């Protein structure tokens, strides 16, 4: 019998848990990683209300969880922020307090944890000031389009370039994002790795029938959008205009269900009324488990101006949903396999989006073909291939560190 190889000890880190795609993708990684290869710890800087009430229960029981800011007095400002009671003056006080008290405390906690791990996966790059420290391999994961976030902010891009250069490797979620990083940072990064988000396909499908799954508020068939109500990025205005054109020019049976909360909800509800579609557009707010809504929809639509690698598209593939998505930077084109697993439309073009959605709702054969393509494409992001990619990434950065250490030792002799 061959000896059992020691597992690689991996520390994932994130600031906190709210209701974004980063949190969803992190939970998926914690679930799917091969326990025969990896021993996993999760460090969370702040125990947010969402973490306590929802996400803590979603973390696998074998994952060790460390709350970094574990002293009540260190949580004063962050608690007020979660309660939305932090004034402008309070935000200034928080920044000063974090610099003088919270950050040094967190650094000590990370330093202590690093002694018992092989790799830190800085999942939101919130520890980038300390990357390369503590004699441990560092992997920093970027979730957004570099161009969209930094293209018009050269000073911030230069500052981040210096911090990103400290990681053993920076992860881009897709090739488009990696191309942006290469153009922006050149050879400044030690290593750039493409590592897509992962999904547990069986668990996603099981979630659609879980007791907490939210079902549609209508008996009619429907199209669904699942995205934060943030018009700077998500562009529901174009979606509403596209749906209004469908209703105006065709006999459309499908309603539109919009899942998500945000500062623009009132404006979007007003636009739906102005377009005379308010009766058929259902704003259902944020849902902890929207999978039943996705699974039973006629189609899913994503209208974003830019993305990172949207988890909702991966989850829609797992459900076998026909998808219409804007061809925005950076995720949809790669996720939908250059349009073979869904329909890509230009950003902000309501007419084209309406035409694409009409093709789907009017053609059952097309929907069946798109379902088959979606399910096949989902396998690319499933457990087996995701574990292979993650294991190769970690092995590469550990091998590079060993080689660098060997070179240093030889040079010192």
Region 116-135: mean pLDDT is: 96
Question: Is the pLDDT reported for residue 361 higher than 60?
Answer: yes
The 10s digit of each residue's pLDDT in 368-410 is 999 999 999 999 999 999 999 999 999 999 999 988 877 777 7
Phi, psi angle pair for 43, to nearest 5°: -105, 135
pLDDT higher for 132 or 3? 132
Whether 27 and 197 have beta carbons less than 8 Å apart is answered as: no
In terms of Cβ atoms closer than 10 Å to its own Cβ (0-12, 13-18, 19+), residue 307 is buried
Residue where the block lists tokens 């950065």: 397
* Predicted model pTM: 0.91
CA distance 79 to 341: 43
> How deeply is 135 buried, as exposed, middle or buried, from its count of CB atoms within 10 A (0-12, 13-18, 19+)?
exposed
Residue 158 structure tokens? 């230069």
What the block records as the tokens of 319 is: 């459900």
201 neighbors 382 (Cβ within 8 angstroms): yes
**Token output for 64:** 């060790």
Express each pLDDT in 179-196 by its tens digit.
999 999 988 999 999 999
Residue 118 phi/psi, 5-degree rounding, is -95, -30
Q: Can you give the pLDDT at residue 2?
A: 47
Asked if residues 42 and 64 have their Cβ atoms less than 8 Å apart, the reply is yes
What distance lies between CA 400 and its chain's CA centroid?
Answer: 28
Asked if residue 99 has a cis previous peptide bond (ω within 30° of 0), the answer is no
User: Hunting for tokens 């050879």 — which residue is that?
Assistant: 187
Mean pLDDT of 350-369: 98
Q: Which of 151, 142, 144 is nearest to 308 (CA)?
A: 144
Domain 8-198+382-412 fold is Rossmann fold (3.40.50)
Q: What angle do CA 374, 379, 383 make, to 5 degrees?
A: 140
Query: Would you state the structure tokens that stand for residue 263, as one six-digit string?
Result: 């500062």
Percent of the chain at pLDDT > 70 equals 99
Pairing of strands 64-67, 119-122: unpaired
Give the model's pLDDT for residue 406: 77
Torsion angles phi and psi, residue 122, rounded to 5: -80, 90
Average the pLDDT over 82-95 and give the result. Answer: 92
What are the tens digits of pLDDT across the range 41-77? 999 999 999 999 999 999 999 999 999 999 999 999 9
Domain ranges within the chain, ordered by starting residue: 8-198+382-412, 202-381
pLDDT at 3: 54
Q: Six-digit token pair at 65?
A: 């969880």
Query: For 295-317, what is each residue's pLDDT tens digit?
Result: 999 999 999 999 989 999 999 99
Q: What confidence tens digit (pLDDT) does each residue in 252-274 have?
A: 999 999 999 999 999 999 999 99
Mean pLDDT of 359-374: 98
Output phi, psi for 257, to 5 deg: -110, 125
The reported pLDDT for the residue numbered 313 is 97
Domains 8-198+382-412 and 202-381 share a fold: yes
Say yes or no to pLDDT of 1 above 70: no
* DSSP string across 171-193: EESSHHHHHHHHHHHGGGSS-EE
Q: Which of 358, 356, 329, 330 is nearest to 344 (CA)?
A: 356
Predicted local distance difference test score (pLDDT) of residue 151: 84
Tokens 């690698």 label which residue?
309
Average pLDDT, the chain: 94
User: What topology is assigned to 202-381 in CATH?
Assistant: Rossmann fold (3.40.50)
* Measured distance CA(54)–CA(26) in Å, rounded: 14
At 34, phi and psi to the nearest 5?
A: -70, 110
């Amino acid at each position: 019998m061959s000896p059992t190889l020691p597992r690689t000890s991996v520390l994932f880190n994130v600031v906190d848990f709210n209701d974004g795609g980063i949190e969803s993708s992190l939970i998926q990684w914690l679930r799917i990683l091969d326990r025969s290869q990896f021993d996993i710890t999760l460090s969370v800087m702040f125990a947010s209300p969402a973490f306590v009430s929802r996400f803590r229960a979603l973390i696998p029981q074998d994952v060790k969880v460390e709350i970094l800011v574990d002293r009540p007095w260190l949580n004063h400002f962050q608690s007020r922020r979660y309660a939305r009671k932090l004034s402008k003056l309070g935000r200034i006080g928080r920044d000063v307090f974090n610099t003088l008290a919270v950050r040094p405390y967190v650094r000590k906690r990370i330093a202590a944890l690093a002694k018992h791990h092989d790799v830190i996966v800085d999942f939101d790059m919130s520890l980038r000031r300390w990357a390369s420290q503590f004699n441990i391999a560092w992997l920093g994961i970027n979730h957004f389009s570099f161009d969209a976030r930094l293209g018009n902010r050269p000073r911030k891009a230069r500052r981040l370039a210096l911090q990103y250069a400290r990681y053993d490797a920076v992860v881009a979620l897709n090739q488009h994002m990696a191309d942006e990083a290469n153009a922006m940072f050149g050879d400044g990064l030690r290593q750039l790795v493409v590592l897509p988000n992962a999904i547990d396909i069986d668990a996603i499908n099981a979630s659609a029938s879980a007791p907490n799954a939210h079902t549609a508020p209508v008996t009619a068939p429907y199209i669904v959008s699942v995205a934060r109500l943030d018009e700077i990025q998500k562009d529901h205005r174009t979606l509403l205009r596209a749906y209004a054109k469908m209703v105006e020019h065709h006999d459309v049976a499908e309603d539109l269900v919009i899942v998500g909360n945000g500062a623009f909800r009132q404006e979007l509800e007003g636009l739906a009324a102005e377009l005379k579609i308010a009766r058929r557009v259902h704003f259902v707010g944020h849902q902890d488990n929207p999978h039943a809504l996705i699974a039973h929809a006629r189609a899913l639509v994503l209208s974003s101006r830019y993305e990172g690698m949207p988890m909702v598209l991966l989850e829609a593939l797992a459900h076998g949903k026909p998808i219409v998505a804007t061809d925005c930077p950076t995720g949809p084109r790669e996720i939908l396999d250059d349009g073979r697993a869904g329909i890509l439309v230009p950003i902000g073009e309501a007419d084209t989006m309406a035409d694409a959605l009409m093709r789907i709702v009017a053609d059952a054969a097309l929907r069946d073909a798109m379902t088959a393509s979606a399910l096949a494409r989902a396998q690319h992001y499933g457990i087996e291939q995701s574990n292979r990619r993650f294991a190769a990434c970690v092995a590469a950065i550990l091998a590079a560190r060993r080689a660098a250490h060997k070179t240093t030792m030889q040079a010192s002799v």
